[in-house]
Amino acid sequence: MSGQPSAVAAAMADARPAKQAIRDEWMEVLDEYAPVAPQGETLYATLCGGAGTDVRLLIERGHVAVEENGAIAVTKFPRVIAVEKDPIEAGLLKNAIPGLQVIASSVEDILIAQNEIRYPVGLHLEVPRAHVLNLDFNGNLEFRVDKGKGLVCTTIDLVRKAAMAHAAPPLRQPWALFLTVRGTADWPESVDGHIASALRVARQTSPGFAQSTLQIEDEFLSGFDESLGPPLSSLAATTQQRVIIAYVAYRVLQVASAIGWRATCKRARFYGGESGQGTAPMCTWMFDFHWSNDAHSGNPSVLETTLETALSAAAYVDANGVLRGFDESA
Ligand SMILES: C[S@@+](CC[C@H](N)C(=O)[O-])C[C@H]1O[C@@H](n2cnc3c(N)ncnc32)[C@H](O)[C@@H]1O
């Protein structure tokens, strides 16, 4: 993912109330998962950055054992694993939290390589199968053109890889995914067409989803023409964020049900981008995954059912970290 912030910008983003509110919600989910994730299986794999803020919170809550000197106790099967593609951040992190297992690599490399037998076992196999996987990206959703499949959302493809890894025997469940991306539509207009088509299909599939996306219909879909636009990037920042929230919620539930998971969008949030605040507009989701025999048979009703309430826990988090309605403006 692109969009690496400067050290100062990263520190400011780290401290802002909206992000802290999101971290509090992550920790609520981790409180649920810590007792059900057996010892010997990784509880949490995260892109925690050089400061390791979310890992520190996990330690504070007692979910990771630490020694007297504050270092994470070294065990054969680590409870928490960090992935960091920036070598400087990876070095900072190793010093900041001694004993933390840090894989200095991109998470894409780890997720994409998991089906290749040449890849080493161990830590690299645990990341895609962590009970809680935190893909806390600071860049945009990414897309690429695939010769056979046409336009593919690379970010959703990573989610598919993680969902396949959890489904490999022995089944690793339940599991949760936290996903965060920048909430701006900085992409070619062909991507807008792909997103508009996906949302139209989702709205036709589920009356509940259609109801939750009335404002998106009003602000984007009704006026959007594949060849004439207007491009999503020219619309209000909050419209872009809402569209991204709805698109990703739909696509994650879709890829999950195709593999055999019944996924639930427990929370979806957008925050940042308010005028005069200098904060980046962001979108974030928290999903739960449970194995489902119905879903495995390709039963379309699983997707229909999960879509009904996909956006019922969607909200805007204001600059003070207070939760507001999904349709409210920043
Ligand atoms: C948003 S920051 C992490 C913030 C942290 N989770 C927190 O709560 O404060 C994202 C970190 O992940 C790293 N990163 C971004 N994309 C990555 C990728 N594709 N693979 C591995 N690391 C990545 C960045 O270098 C950055 O240090």
pLDDT at 28 over 50: yes
pLDDT 10s digits, 83-126: 999 999 999 999 999 999 999 999 999 998 765 544 445 788 89
Query: pTM higher than 0.85, yes or no?
Result: yes
Report the separation in Å between the CA atom of 47 and the middle of ligand 1, taken as the mean of its atom positions. Answer: 4
* pLDDT above 70: percentage of residues in the chain: 92
The Å distance, Cα 202 to ligand 1 centre, comes to 30
- pLDDT band, very low/low/confident/very high, at 240 (cuts 50, 70, 90): very high
DSSP SS3 for 91: helix
- For the chain, the average pLDDT equals 91
Judged against a pLDDT cut of 70, whether residue 6 lies above it is answered with no
Asked if pLDDT for residue 39 goes beyond 60, the answer is: yes
- d(CA 206, CA 23) in angstroms, rounded, equals 31
Whether the per-residue pLDDT at 43 is higher than 60: the answer is yes
pLDDT at 7: 57
Give residue 317's region: left, alpha or beta (phi > 0; psi -120 to 50). Answer: beta
Q: Which of 2, 22, 44, 47 to mutate to test the pocket of ligand 1 (most atoms within 8 A of CB)?
A: 47
Beta partners for residue 153, in sequence order: 143
Say what the pLDDT of residue 76 is.
80
Nearest CA to ligand 1 atom 20: 106
Residue holding tokens 């048979």?
297
Domain ranges across the chain: 7-317
- CATH number of this structure's domain 7-317, picked from the four choices 1.10.3470, 3.30.420, 1.10.150, 3.40.50: 3.40.50
What spacing in Å lies between the alpha carbon of 25 and ligand 1's midpoint?
Answer: 18
pLDDT in tens, 140-154: 999 999 888 889 999
Q: Which of 6, 19, 80, 136 to mutate to test ligand 1, by most ligand atoms within 8 A of the CB atom?
A: 136
Helix (H) or strand (E) holding 315: strand 314-317
Q: Is 92 in the pocket of ligand 1 (CB under 6 A)?
A: no
For ligand 1, mutation pick of 16, 57, 94, 137 (most atoms within 8 Å of CB): 137
Protein residue whose Cα sits closest to atom 18 of ligand 1: 106
Nearest atom in ligand 1 to the alpha carbon of residue 134 is 6
Tokens of 43: 């509880």
Which of 169-173, 186-190, 199-203, 310-314 shows the lowest mean pLDDT across its residues? 186-190
Note the pLDDT tens digit of each residue in 278-306: 899 999 999 999 998 776 666 778 999 99
| 84 Cα nearest atom in ligand 1 | 22
Kindly indicate the confidence band of residue 162, based on its pLDDT and cuts at 50, 70 and 90: very high
Question: What mean pLDDT is predicted for residues 38-43?
Answer: 93
> Ligand 1: does its nearest atom lie under 6 Å from the Cβ of 54?
yes
pLDDT at residue 75, rounded to an integer: 82
Q: Which helix (H) or strand (E) holds 107?
A: helix 107-113
What pLDDT score was predicted for residue 70? 85
What residues does 96 pair with on adjacent strands? Answer: none
pLDDT value at residue 276: 78
Cβ–ligand 1 distance for 25 under 6 Å, the answer no
Mutate to test the pocket of ligand 1, among 44, 105, 138, 282 (most ligand atoms within 8 A of CB): 138
CB 256 within 8 A of CB 167: no
Question: Ligand 1 pocket, 84 CB below 6 A?
Answer: yes
